[in-house]
Each structure stands twice: as structure tokens, then as C-alpha cells.
Structure 1
Amino acid sequence: MVVTELQQRMQESFKDNVDEEYLMDCMRCGFCLPACPTYLVTNKDEIHSPRGRIALMKGMRDGDVVWDGSVEESFDMCLGCRACEPACPAGVQYGVLLEETRVAIEQVKTKSVVEKAVRKSTFDGVFADQKKMAGAVKLVQFYQKSGLQTVTRKIGFLNLFPPFMKEMEAVLPAIESKKKRATPSEPKTTTVAFFTGCLMDTLFQETNRKTIELLESLGVDVMIPKEQQCCGALHGHSGELEKGLRNARTNVDAFDSDSFDFIVNNAGGCGAFLSEYEKHLQSDTAYAEKTTRFSRKMIDISSLLVKLGLNERLKEIQVESKAIVTYQDSCHLRNVNKVFLEPRTLLQDAPGFEYKELIDAGSCCGSAGIYNILQPEMAKKILDLKMKGVKELQPAKVVTSNPGCLMQMQVGIQREGLEKEMQAVHIVDFLYDAIYKNQN
């Protein structure tokens, strides 16, 4: 094997960044294979399995594997859904290994001027400053409200773009101006701090508003720390972990208070990265204690709603008609935060609906952060598999717990021409409507 300068630098980067002990935890038993969407979609190609990728990581670290396009493709093709972790009897920390691998690659890989500019504007701009995110979303709002969207669609301008971009544009939520919070009159028994999220507080601000109203109706005093920023998950999944941890420290400082009982979030992807702040910052003496407090208070919205007794309130509402509702898991909510039963119990008790389990509900829908943008062909294949189960079940509502999953499922429904028969909705929007529409 000819050792080029790039090969040598890449090997050194893997040695510096990828933990050898974690690599050695893999017993190569293969229990992860049936859980891996890319392994299954690629006709069981080992290079696109967790076991195969760990072998490549070790080979790169040891200098036994030559860095080339096929190795890079294997790592790029990984969804990062972490379905392999619950399936692994040895407890391999695949999520850590994948993050470390992407950091190792990012530090050495040659980037074009355009890629450098995009990364800087994304990771140091929009996803590092909530004001910049809000500004970007205002441009989308102008596009929707000014009539420009109507004209753009009418003249077929979007046909000049790749099909997946046209599909994503079609499912963007209608962005409304923020409404002023009403002062709740119910007595408060619990205080929570709400992690509003960057996309959730801009593109999906109506879902955030309904989250607050639902909590307040259950006797919760909701606080919103103003200094919070994007959780940093996108940075961490894109080889920019240190920039993600910059956001993490900002958020830990913003939520470091004894004045609330829980820190609640309503986006599965954000929740997983937030819950792992403690792991990422445990060696930082200035933040180790703070992140421990942060992690102990972190809770997903569905878990908190169950804890607050929303199930009983749902049962009190009597509705005769029964439409089918099903649930598509957020990979990170299920595989990292282990939240599985709580959203299902809420849907089972929802008035006017009959809950039915979706085939392979725990398998990834193909969204995976920005995976459906970076890997549109593979994302489409994974979504097509998901939609087979949806079409077989024929639900009126497909409920999700993550904005990316929500938009991906909407794309799937639209692609199949099922918009008039079913709808993808966030679990908060679904529960809010189930309560308030049936009470009026």
C-alpha cells in the first residue's frame, strides 16, 4: 500500500480523535445488522452496516485501510439513527464513534471555497445565533406571504432544482407572526424551563405555542431562558463537534437555575443531543457539575405530559367517531433517550382516534437531521420503505415527535398522492387539537 500524505494525515487524525477502546468493544456478532436501514436498503452490503463501518474506523486508525471515495461514502451514508445501539449486546457506543469519525475526517478533508463558506455561514452563523436563525426564517415568511411563492410555483421555477428540494419546499409550514402569550389563570404546581429549539421556535413556532398552552393547562409555570441557542446537534453530526459544544456551554449556563423542576423539549433530535451534554462536557471542570444538573432535569414533552396526568384528561373527553392514528418514532428519542411508551399511551387515550402500531415504526424515515438533503437518493429509498407500511395501515394521522421526521413524512404522503386521506402532525399539535377541538 502506497502511503500518501493524505493517507498519513487521515490516519493520524483517526488516532487523535477516534477512541480505540470504543472500537474494541465491537464483537462483530452482527446483531446490529437487521437494525440498520442502510445495510438493508443496500441489499445487505457490509460496508454500509455499523459493524462494517466500525471495521473501517479501526482500519483507518491502524493504517490497514486506504482512504478513498468508498470509505468516505460509507461514513457519509450513515444516518446516525443509532438503531444499532439498543440491538448491540456489547453496548458499543456507536454514536460516539460516528461523531469522532466525522471530526477526524473534517479536520483533514480538503474543502472547496463554497463548502467552507456554507459551513461557516451555517455553523458559525445561523445555527450559532438564534437571532440570525429568526432572520433567515423571516425571509421564508416573506417568500410565503408576499405572493412570491405562488408565482414561483406557477411559472415552474422550482423545476430547475433537484426534486427533493421541490418536495421540501412544498411541505414547509406556513410561518405566522409570533402571538403574545396570554397570562394563564390556573394555579401552578410545577415549574419548567422550555428549550424552544432553533427550528421549533421559528419554522414551527405554532407547535411551541401549543406546547406552552398544554403545559399551562396542566398547572405548569413555563419559563423561557432568553440566552438559549441551537442545541448543537447539527454541528455534532457534521464533524463540527467543538462548535456544537460551544452552543452546549451557552445552553447549560442559560438553564443553570434552581427555580424550575424540569427542562422540557419537544424535538426528539434536540433532546438526544441535549441529554448527552453531560457526556460531552464531563472532562470540562467548569461545566461538569452544571451539566450533571442539566441532564437530571431534561425531559421530553410526551414524558412530561404523561407525568402531569394528561392521559386522564384525554380519557374524560367522549367522542364517538374513530379514525386511525399511528406513530413514527423519532430515532434519537427512541434509541438515545429510550422514550417509547409515553407517546403511544397518549395516542391510545386520544379522543376520536383508534391507535394502531405502524409497521417498523422504530426504523428511520430517512430525515436524520439534514441527511435527506445531503443523501437524497438513499433517503428516498428509506422513505419509500416507510411509506409501504403507512399505505397498508391507512391512518388519518401519522404522528411524529421531531420536526425533521414531520417534514419527511409529509414528503412521503405527498409523493404517494395521499394528502387528502392523511396528514403528518407533531404530537403536540395532535394532542392540542384532540383536546380543544373536541371541547368546543
Structure 2
Amino acid sequence: MVSELQQRMQDSFVEHVDEELLMDCMRCGFCLPACPTYLATNQDETHSPRGRIALMKAMRDGDVVWDGSVEDAFDMCLGCRACEPACPAGVQYGVLIEETRVAVQQAKPINLKEKTVRKATFDGVFADQKKMASGVKLVQFYQKSGLQAAARKIGFLNLFPPFMKQMEAVLPKVESKKKREPVLKPTSVKVAFFSGCLMDTLFQETNRKTIEMLEWLGAEVVIPKEQQCCGALHGHSGEMEKGLRNAKANVEAFDSDDFDYIVNNAGGCGAFLSEYGKHLEGNPQYTEKAASFSDKTIDISSLFVKLGLNSKLKQMGGAEESLVTYQDSCHLRNVNGVFLEPRSLLQDAPGFEYKELIDAGSCCGSAGIYNILQPEMAKRILDAKMKGVKKMQPAIVVTSNPGCLMQMQVGIQSEGLEKEMKAVHIVDFLYDSIHQNQTLA
């Protein structure tokens, strides 16, 4: 006899998971060597894209009993989407894992604690930029009041899981937000800046440098006031409707023919932003606006290249003194196809020698909040990544996403390499390398 939960789960999979997309998978296995969790679990098929798709179909058809092992298989997925470029059949795995998480979230029993956390996260902090800013002010108080120093000195952080202690150690120093004066000079292009939630709070210095560099390259930069979190975290956590709520708010905030580009400096956000058109194509009110939004969306490194930063970097010259390498943001590479642009900028940066990181395209284990929800697997994936970093011994590891940045900082710290190397955002790296040669003006 089928249990109530089993029937509810099967009905939810039938409702939410597209059977036609499931049937696109030919079970060829080209995705296997591209999947970090498949490799980290000694080639366990249930932790591969092919295996997960088989489980999705089995749940939809009622051929497998829903239990903790099935849920773990879906939860363990990083959502890095490295399987998509590797797939000869063009399977839309990203869509399938998002639909699966919606199906699970709609059907499974949720206790009061999880309900409270989800509501605070998806309806609170990541739904309202003001609430995000207020939360970050608490971090600022913790850092500047002496509480952080005291907590570290007395060993208070040892009461928390190791990964939380590691993340606390690499939190960026939160500074008070400075009022920005727009640059008034002839411009060649008008850019709307998607400032993001974490980027505009914890990493606001990177945002400031992004704007300053764009203006130096001749762009007029506008920051729409009503923008919200991109919605990626919601979409990847089974809360797609709430993610689309944010998407609609952003589409409205950026709805102007004046903008040539909508630029972002966070790879994870950029991938979700670029897919607004796909997510909202069935909504008559937003179909056209969302498609226009996605068409204009561009990553900061791609826009830097379009605005001629490479030639400016080459003109500065300078001896190659330090070794720099690049760790890809999974979504920037696998979803948006941005691969060459950041590398070309690093190759032209004055005073540095660029070398390709061993297995640069593999996930670092951050994956949004994956390293918080799945700390053990995230550590295994990060440890594998750090083997290549240790072998190369670069002075700087450059990233294009805040989560990747903090994860690589954790890796460097856990290996005791913080005196030999550092991880930095690509904007910070380029800004600082330019400042060593001339002043932006």
C-alpha cells in the first residue's frame, strides 16, 4: 500500500518535473567526469547527473520509495551545472534540479524550525535589501565593537562547527557605505549596475571599485534604487515562486530603453539574471520585459573587455613579478559561457604572470550556501581544488563570485598558506594592479 507521503511526493513530481526534459537524457555518461559529487563519492551513480535524473523519473513514475537516501541524492547536488556543457544531448539539468527541489519542498513535511528559517531567509533577508543591510550592520558591530576580537581570544568560536569558524575568519571587513557622486563627463555607453545583496553589503568596496572602473572606461553608471536580491538562492532551494517575485521586481526596476547593458560582478547572480527571460516567458506581463533584461545582462569581465580595458592594461607594461591564476565561477562558465574574458584581463594585467589553474573549471564547493548546508562534501571538493593550488603556488587566486572568493580564502587558510597567497575578486585585482601603475581619473 502506498503511503500518504509517497503518493503526495509522486503527485508533486508529476506536477512540477517536466517529463519531456527527463526523456532528453540518453544515459550516455558524458556528464559523469564533469560532476564534482560523482567524483568525490568514488563514482556513486546516485550522486551523478545521470543518476539523479533516473531518480527524478523513478519518483515521477512511482518506481522508487521516497526516503532519506533519495532526498540526500538531490540535496547533495551543487547545482554547478558542469554537466550541461558536457552533455551532447543538451539536457537542461539546471531546470530539472530546480523543478525537483520545488517538487520536494511542496510535498515533504516541514517542521517549525525549518519553516521559521526559510521564512526569515526567503521572505526576509533575501527579499528586502534593507533587511540585508540591517543584518550586515550587526556584522559590522561585531567586528568593530571588540566582540570579534574577544570571541576569538577566549575560544568562543570553538563551540561552533569547524566550517562556521572558518567562514567567520574570512568575513570581509564591513565598512560604512559612502555616498557616491556620479561622474559628469561625456560617456560612450550607459550601464545599469546590478549591485546585488551580498556584494552591496559585505563586499561594497568591490562594488565601489566596479563603478569607478566603469566610469574610467567611459561608461555612465546608473544604480536603479528598487532592485532586490537576484532570486538565485530561492530558485536553487525549492522556492522558485519567491525567486520569481524578486525577478519581477528587478525586471521592473531595470525596465528602461536608456541602458545599453545591465552589468553584474557576481557569477552566481549573473547566471540567474540571464535566465529571467526563460523563467518568466509564460507570464504575459513580463515576457517581453524579462527577455530584454536577460539580453542586456552582462558579466563585469565581459563588459571590461568590450570597453577596451585590455588595451589600457597592455599600455601600462611592467615586468612580470608575481604569479596569478583564476578559479572559475561555475555559473559564469557553465551557464553564461564566460571563459576567455577574465583570463585575457589577467594575462594583460601589468606586473603579473598568468598561469592556468589545475582543473580551474571544477567547483570549489561554495555553490551559494551549499558549504553551509553540506559542509562535509563541500570540504572534500575544496580539498581536491586546493591540491592544484598548492602545486602551482600562485601569489593570487582570482575569482568572480563572492561565495567562491570566501571558499577559496577558507581553503588557503585551512592549508596554512595565508602568508604565501591570497584570494581576491577580479575587480579588486584589476583595480589594485592599475593603481600600482597609475591613478584612475
Amino acid in structure 1 at the alignment position of 2:423? A
Say whether 1:236 aligns with 2:235: yes
* Displacement after TM superposition at 1:183 (Å): 4.0
8 Å contact kept, 2:320–2:353 = no
Q: How far apart are the structure 2 equivalents of 1:85 and 1:321? A: 36
- The one-character-per-residue Cα deviations of 1:141-179 (angstroms, maximum 9, x if unpaired) are 000011110001111000000000000000000000112
8 Å contact kept, 2:197–2:228 = yes
SS of residue matched to 2:60: helix
Amino acid in structure 1 at the alignment position of 2:199? M
Amino acid in structure 2 at the alignment position of 1:237? H
Identical-pair percentage: 79
Q: How far apart are the structure 1 equivalents of 2:226 and 2:184? A: 27
Q: How far apart are the structure 2 equivalents of 1:406 and 1:283? A: 35
TM-score (norm 2): 0.99
8 Å contact kept, 2:278–2:291 = no
Q: Which residue does 2:165 correspond to in 1?
A: 166
Q: How far apart are the structure 1 equivalents of 2:247 and 2:220? A: 24
Amino acid in structure 2 at the alignment position of 1:163? P
SS of residue matched to 2:398: strand
Amino acid in structure 1 at the alignment position of 2:172? P
Q: How far apart are the structure 2 equivalents of 1:3 and 1:344? A: 54
Q: How far apart are the structure 1 equivalents of 2:41 and 2:357? A: 23
Amino acid in structure 2 at the alignment position of 1:397? I
CA RMSD of aligned residues (A): 0.8
Q: Which residue does 1:315 correspond to in 2?
A: 314
8 Å contact kept, 1:168–1:411 = yes
Q: How far apart are the structure 2 equivalents of 1:317 and 1:182? A: 28
Q: Which runs of 5+ in 2 are unaligned?
A: none
Q: How far apart are the structure 2 equivalents of 1:152 and 1:4? A: 49
* Displacement after TM superposition at 1:184 (Å): 2.6
Q: How far apart are the structure 1 equivalents of 2:90 and 2:124? A: 36
8 Å contact kept, 1:82–1:336 = yes
Say whether 1:92 aligns with 2:91: yes
Q: Which residue does 1:414 correspond to in 2?
A: 413
Say whether 1:126 aligns with 2:132: no
* Displacement after TM superposition at 1:186 (Å): 4.3
Q: How far apart are the structure 2 equivalents of 1:185 and 1:278? A: 33
Q: How far apart are the structure 1 equivalents of 2:185 and 2:317? A: 23
Amino acid in structure 1 at the alignment position of 2:152? R
Q: How far apart are the structure 2 equivalents of 1:272 and 1:415? A: 29
8 Å contact kept, 1:359–1:389 = yes
SS of residue matched to 2:255: coil
Q: Which residue does 1:26 correspond to in 2?
A: 25
* Displacement after TM superposition at 1:318 (Å): 2.3
Say whether 1:156 aligns with 2:160: no
Q: Which residue does 1:108 correspond to in 2?
A: 107
- The one-character-per-residue Cα deviations of 1:77-120 (angstroms, maximum 9, x if unpaired) are 00000000000000000000000000000001111111100000
Where do 4+ consecutive residues of structure 1 move more than 4 Å?
A: none
Q: Which residue does 2:346 correspond to in 1?
A: 347
Q: How far apart are the structure 2 equivalents of 1:260 and 1:8? A: 49
SS of residue matched to 2:437: helix
Q: Which residue does 2:378 correspond to in 1?
A: 379
TM-score (norm 1): 0.99
Q: How far apart are the structure 1 equivalents of 2:93 and 2:320? A: 45
8 Å contact kept, 1:186–1:217 = no
SS of residue matched to 1:299: strand
Q: Which residue does 2:8 correspond to in 1?
A: 9
Equivalence map 1:29-428=2 (5 Å): 29-184=28-183, 186-428=185-427
Q: How far apart are the structure 1 equivalents of 2:289 and 2:205? A: 31
Amino acid in structure 2 at the alignment position of 1:319? G
* Displacement after TM superposition at 1:321 (Å): 4.3
8 Å contact kept, 1:311–1:349 = yes
SS of residue matched to 1:304: helix
8 Å contact kept, 1:82–1:331 = yes
Q: How far apart are the structure 2 equivalents of 1:92 and 1:320? A: 46
8 Å contact kept, 2:412–2:418 = yes
8 Å contact kept, 1:152–1:158 = yes
Q: How far apart are the structure 1 equivalents of 2:382 and 2:188? A: 42
Q: State how many pairs are aligned.
A: 439
SS of residue matched to 1:351: coil
SS of residue matched to 1:438: coil
Q: How far apart are the structure 2 equivalents of 1:142 and 1:311? A: 40
- The one-character-per-residue Cα deviations of 1:186-214 (angstroms, maximum 9, x if unpaired) are 42111000000000000000000000000
8 Å contact kept, 2:319–2:352 = no
8 Å contact kept, 1:186–1:216 = no
